[in-house]
Structure 1
Amino acid sequence: MSIHPTPQHLEAAPKAAPILRVEGLRKSYSTPQGAIPVLRGVDFTLAAGASLALTGESGSGKSTLLHLVGALDDADSGVIILDGVEVTLLSEHARATIRREKIGTVFQQFNLIPSLTVAENLGFQARLAGRYDAAWQEELTHRLGLAELCARYPEELSGGQQQRVAIGRALAVRPKLLLADEPTGNLDEATGDKVMSLALDLVAATGCAFLMATHSARLAARLQRRVRLDAGVLAAR
């Protein structure tokens, strides 16, 4: 006699551990008037291949949260675990290694190296991490529509082209986590939408987790989950 699984049986299946876990994250900044709390106990998880939009008013702490998750700053307290490594316990040297090898970051300001060509900018982080893959860079170049621009320098590119290079550079290392801080903030709406479509396609191709801070409800709606940072804590949207 066959036995059909009950919902309880199905729910008992083990879930994959999240690639990113943030627990009780707190951060404040010192001023002459005293400490100003920015994050008051932030908790969330993000699985490999999943995307999460972080929204909130200007000054709500979105960039602060991304800097902490990206191992660019120290939290006052709390835990950040990326790919099984507790980032909040690492030395600065170890955090630099995590940034090179496991985290790709795309900023509102493109932050390309002016003296390097498009091709050299694309491979910069991957070479630093010792993970340069010529075939993957060629695929990124074509998928981002940069094949005809490889010999150009950043000053010879439009804003949308520069942001495509920045996305390619971040993904060339095949990171576990892609962070984007207002990645289309310097672009017009149509160009920003195209750049976001490319980013989402490449995130799907690599299977990395994607955390994006944005003030745009339209762009946030394109990601799988949305949360709002308000008064230093997260609330689901």
Structure 2
Amino acid sequence: MTSKGIQIERLSKRYGEGDTAVLALKDVNMHVAPGEVVGLIGPSGSGKSTLLKCLGAVIDPTSGRMVLSDEVVFDNGWRVSDLRALRRDKIGFVFQAPYLIPFLDVTDNVALLPMLAGVPNDEARERAGELLAALDVQHRAKAMPAQLSGGEQQRVAIARGLVNRPPVILADEPTAPLDSVRAMAVIRILNAMARRFQTAVVVVTHDEKIIPTFKRIYHIRDGITHEEEGEGRSLQ
């Protein structure tokens, strides 16, 4: 079956009940095609984090429908029995901070997830090495996280997010701690990896440096999304 990337239909999230209830998401609709990188922007408290947590199967939506890759994962209730396996197999996460394990070298930081998923150690390390080469940090394969620059750490974090070959990547402010050159390098990498692996990528950001690079943007305010064409400026 052909991957559908990400499809969200009328997704809502309510916190609380009765008079104290807060509707954080209100009938959100979104589509991200395989190989596409879209931006998700909005003010603090607009619902960005809630939407990302629903997409990442970290919190339960209240209603609506979510399709990740070729699978309906939520339809007014979860349609998968193991949410940890869903996160492991279908979703890659890239955060503002790299969150690398300080006592593992770069290769083992990347290879750990497939190892935990049952991939043989040699194969997991081979996958890690391929991604580190693609991200131009293979020369740091045996380095410890503390020996890396900020940009190198973020590239290793991207490799870790991609190593299980998930159809979906959720990136939460991945360029916030970086200067302009490194921020644009991260966005180039995410776009290249999206095309190469046909991954659907959502980037939550406040970073005005990278917003002009998106071809499509979802604005979210008061729990409601509005899609618009982005500038799609060249990343060269």
Match in the other structure for 2:211: 220
Match in the other structure for 2:168: 177
Matched residue pairs, number? Answer: 222
Contact 2:96 2:175 (C-alpha < 8 Å) held by counterparts: yes
Find out whether 1:87 has 2:78 as its counterpart: no
Contact 2:4 2:67 (C-alpha < 8 Å) held by counterparts: no
Percent identity between the two aligned chains: 34
Find out whether 1:57 has 2:48 as its counterpart: no
TM-score by length of 2: 0.85
Contact 2:6 2:31 (C-alpha < 8 Å) held by counterparts: yes
Find out whether 1:119 has 2:107 as its counterpart: yes
Q: CA RMSD in A?
A: 2.2
Give the C-alpha shift of residue 95 in structure 1.
1.3
Contact 1:136 1:172 (C-alpha < 8 Å) held by counterparts: yes
Superposed, which structure 2 residues align to 1:44-193 within 5 Å? Answer: 44-88=30-74, 89-90=77-78, 94-131=82-119, 132-193=123-184
Q: Deviations over 1:32-85 (max 9, x none)?
A: x82222111101122211221111112211121111111111111111111232
CA distance in 1, matches of 2:79, 2:31: 23
Q: Deviations over 1:70-125 (max 9, x none)?
A: 11111111111112323224378611111111111101121212221110011122
Match in the other structure for 1:7: none
Which amino acid in the other structure matches residue 171 of structure 1? L
CA distance in 2, matches of 1:124, 1:200: 24
Which amino acid in the other structure matches residue 232 of structure 1? G
Match in the other structure for 1:197: 188
Contact 1:87 1:95 (C-alpha < 8 Å) held by counterparts: no
CA distance in 2, matches of 1:130, 1:225: 37
CA distance in 2, matches of 1:129, 1:69: 21
Give the C-alpha shift of residue 187 in structure 1.
1.4
Q: Deviations over 1:133-164 (max 9, x none)?
A: 55443221112222221222222222211111
Contact 2:107 2:129 (C-alpha < 8 Å) held by counterparts: no
- Cα separation, partners in 2 of 1:30 and 1:22, compared to 1, 3 Å: same
Which runs of 5 or more structure 2 residues have no equivalent in the other structure? Answer: 229-236
